[in-house]
Chain A
Amino acid sequence: MPSPDPLAPPEIQSQPLTLDAISHSYGDALAVNEVTLEVRAGELIALLGPSGCGKSTLLRIVAGFINQTSGRVVIADRVVDSLPPNRREVGIVFQSYALFPHMTVAENIAYGLEARGESKATCRERVSEMLATVRMEGFADRKPRQLSGGQQQRVALARALAVRPRILLLDEPFAALDKNLRLDMQIEIKRLQRQFGLTAILVTHDQDEAMSIADRIAVMSKGRIEQLGSPVEIYDQPETLFVNDFIGSSNRFAGVIESAGEGAYGVRLASGALWNVASRKAFAPGDRVVATIRPEQLVLTDQATDGSIPVTLKLSLPIGGELIHDVETRSGEAFKVAAGRRPGEPVSPMAATHCALAPHARPVLFPQPAA
């Protein structure tokens, strides 16, 4: 008799989630501004943005804790705006985990099942299944306060997943964990999200977290989505200066468009160097622009080359496997250059005099922001 594989994904139909022109105001303050977002079935989207940009508000609207001022929430072709939170089948994991402190781990996990009127036997079975899923067997009778942060996190996940939600929302679930544990839990969540075929939104203001875990990232600022795209797209082709600055570190150079060709521009930098930059944006010769470049796409040399900038090296710091050089142009603009560090290499290397684009470098052009 073939026994069912315990690790096979349960038969769950992933459901798409659509946010349709959602706006929300607290009194006069607009917290979410016309957000439209389509989360595909089984996809994990990270909402990334600075504090106060409306990430939690958006999540609470999806969960049904607050009613948006305008716009619609659609789960699997069904508008759920009129449904109270307990009828939306949306699982949520909070930053504080929000485990019920007066219940044991098992009671916490069974809570949603009991609320749905499942039988005692089903509850017991599902609880032990979920405990196994999050690798917490043997903790069933503990109270939440007797668990470590990571263990509480697992229980919160198990509790949310026990009721087989259609959508999983995670509001900064890793914020209270230390760095190593955080990575473990990120992998864990990714695994569970795949296993359960969950459509998920993860709120974070940690860009590394968003980059590593999400299928797509929505970068938010002041209640709006600035850019939606895969982690690589967001990193390599930021659409706005805000996204560019928020994701990773990058250097800005002021310049002027000198020539316009087929999707590429000649940009004269303030230092006099001429860069040939590909861009899909429309510029005309004479336009003032900002060219940005990631530190790892620059190299230091000891001789002038095509498009290189004369610099002086101020400081070199070994950060893990990288060397970060702090350099300055003749006119006093400071920027950073990152290079892989070979083991045993002296920290302060050559007498670098110039900085040039690496062969694979892809600078990005933005219109000069109004001062």
Chain B
Amino acid sequence: MSGAATSETAGVEWRLAAPLGLTYLAFFAAPLLILLVMSFSVDDNLGGFSLAAWAKFWGDPFYRGVVWDTLRLGLVTVAMTTLFAYPIALLFIASGPGLQRLLLFIVLLPLLTSVVIRTFAWIAILSREGVLNQALLALGLTTAPLNLLQTELGLVIALMQIEMPLMLLPLITVMQQIDPSLSDASRALGGSKWRTFRKVILPLSLPGWIAGATLVFASATTAFISQTVIGGARLVYLPTLIWQQAMVVYNWPFAAVASVTLLVAVLAGVSLFAMLGRFARTTA
């Protein structure tokens, strides 16, 4: 009886999923396929077959450098957001409802402002005449203004603020579900605060971190606006390269190669985090 009922609902479920499935097929899978075919084409009419674009991309140390820079940008941003997100998340868990609301608001703020405005705000902060340099000069911490714009450091600082909610929200969600008496138990057993964090909180928060790291990595490596506006002409990452090749140079097969590379790079990073998480969980 129940078997019949389930197979009936299964049929209904299939039909319910169909519209979304078809949309994905038409607007996601199909363009991806076209992109792949394009990367092996001679020109942008999808004509012919040629490995020229691939050979040119991977044969040139400059382009390989761009791939590496993009991956490194993602990894460094993940590392920096992790470093800042954990203390904030711990503070959030330990605070009362009032402070929690305030923290959440501050954390979500970047999501509530337009990417363009956020990015230009960072220019105002990071430029040679910007707020940060003026403060450093006034405090005597530096004698000459630091060059932060168009550097990886400046870009990572900006990305960190922009991507922070993506790291914090999953992290906080998972950490809120950790039974607070686990920390109490650890402390009563003689564990220091640091040990409690390292042995109990950290391993149990890993699912949240993996989700956060995945989002931050995918988002930082593809953050076209931040990369171009703050990175400027000096720093070139895959999204900028794709845009240049597709919209300025009109070399579509080459842009397709860069796109497929970016896609694979992001996927590789994402699986790396999942693996790291699983590894840490089994050895913690």
Contacts and interface: CB of A to CB of B under 8 A. Distances in A.
Interface of A: 60, 63-65, 84-92, 94, 96, 98-102, 111-112, 115-116, 159-160, 163
Contacts, number: 67
B204 A85 contact: no
Contact of B204 (A65, A90, A102, A159): A102
A82 to B, nearest CB: 15
Given A96-B179, A98-B179, A116 B190 contact: yes
A127 to B, nearest CB: 13
Interface in B185-228: 185-192, 195, 199-200, 203-204
Contacts of A101: 204
Rank and list the top 7 A-B pairs by shortest CB-CB distance, nearest first: A112-B189, A85-B187, A98-B181, A98-B185, A115-B190, A115-B191, A92-B188
A159 B179 contact: no
A112 B191 contact: yes
B187 A94 contact: no
A152 B284 CA distance: 21
B184 A65 contact: yes
Interface residues of B, number: 19
Contacts of A92: 184-185, 188
B136 interface: no
B275 interface: no
B188 A63 contact: yes
B50 to A, nearest CB: 52
A115 B189 contact: yes
B191 A94 contact: no
Given A94-B181, A115-B195, A100 B200 contact: yes
B278 interface: no
A111 B199 CA distance: 9
B204 to A, nearest CB: 6
Interface string B270-284: 000000000001001
A102 B188 CA distance: 18
B187 A102 contact: no
Contacts of B192: 86, 115
Given A63-B184, A86-B187, 20 more contacts: A85-B184, A86-B188, A86-B189, A86-B190, A90-B188, A91-B188, A91-B189, A98-B181, A99-B185, A100-B186, A102-B281, A102-B284, A111-B186, A112-B191, A116-B190, A159-B185, A159-B189, A160-B189, A163-B189, A163-B190
B137 interface: no
Contacts of A100: 182, 185-186, 199-200
Contacts of A85: 184, 187-188
A269 to B, nearest CB: 50
Nearest to A107: B199
Contacts of B200: 100
Nearest to B203: A102
A63 B281 CA distance: 29
Please indicate which of the listed interface residues B189, B191, B284 has the most CB atoms of chain A within 10 Å of its own CB.
B189
A86 B189 CA distance: 6
Contacts of A63: 184, 188
Nearest to B178: A101
A89 B187 CA distance: 10
Contacts of B284: 102
Interface string B253-284: 00000000000000000000000000001001
A226 to B, nearest CB: 28
A98 B192 CA distance: 17
